[in-house]
Amino acid sequence: MGQVVAVANQKGGVGKTTVVLGLASAAMERGHKVLVIDMDPQGASGWVLGVDQAERTVAEVISSGRPGAAKAAIRHSEWGHLVDVLPSSPDLQELEVLRGGLDGILRGTRTETRLRRGIEGVTDGYGVVLIDCPPSLGALTANGLAAASQALVVVEPTALGLRGVGPVSDLIERTWERHNPQLDLAGVILNRMPARSVDAVLRSEELARTVGDSALWGPAIPHRVIVAEAAAQRRPIHATGARGRAVVEVFDALYDRLWKLIKP
Q: Is the distance from CB of 229 to CB of 240 less than 8 angstroms? A: yes
Q: Could you tell me where the DSSP H helices lie in the chain? A: 16-29, 44-48, 58-64, 91-97, 102-106, 114-118, 139-147, 159-163, 165-178, 198-211, 225-232, 245-262
Give 69 or 103, the one with higher predicted confidence: 69
For residue range 163-217, what is the model confidence (pLDDT) as tens digits?
778 888 999 999 999 999 999 999 999 999 888 888 888 888 888 888 888 899 9
Q: Contact, 154 vs 122, CB < 8 A? A: no
CB 51 within 8 A of CB 77: yes
Strands 83-86 and 216-217: unpaired
Q: What pLDDT, on the 0 to 100 scale, is given for residue 52?
A: 86
pLDDT of residue 83: 98
Consecutive H or E run containing 128: strand 128-132
Count the alpha carbons within 13 Å of 187 in the hemisphere toward its beta carbon.
Answer: 19
pLDDT at residue 97, as a whole number: 63
b/e map 202-211, b = 16+ CB within 10 Å: ebbeebbeeb
User: Cα–Cα distances in Å, from 14 out to 3, 50, 194, 242?
Assistant: 24, 22, 13, 25
Domains of the chain, by residue range, sit at: 3-262
Distance CA 217, CA 259 (A): 13
Asked whether residue 106 carries a pLDDT value surpassing 70, the answer given is no
Listed in sequence order, the residues at least 6 apart from 93 whose beta carbon sits closer than 8 Å to its beta carbon are 41
CB-based contacts of 256: which residues, under 8 Å, 6+ apart? Answer: none
Fold of 3-262: Rossmann fold (3.40.50)
In tens, the pLDDT along 141-167 reads 999 999 999 999 999 888 888 877 888
Task: Name which residue leads in pLDDT, 34 or 193.
Answer: 34
Whether residue 219 has a cis bond before it, omega within 30° of 0: yes
Distance CA 57, CA 104 (A): 22
Task: Choose among 123, 111, 104, 165: nearest CA to 5.
Answer: 123
- Classify strands 83-86 and 3-8 as parallel, antiparallel or unpaired: unpaired
For 84-94, the pLDDT digits (tens) are: 999 998 888 87
pLDDT at 107 over 80: no
Strand partners, 41: none
pLDDT at 104: 45
For the beta carbon of residue 52, count every other beta carbon within 10 angstroms.
Answer: 10
User: Starting at the edge strand that comes first in sequence, how are the strands of the sheet with 34-38 ordered?
Assistant: 75-76, 83-86, 34-38, 128-132, 3-8, 150-155, 184-190, 216-217
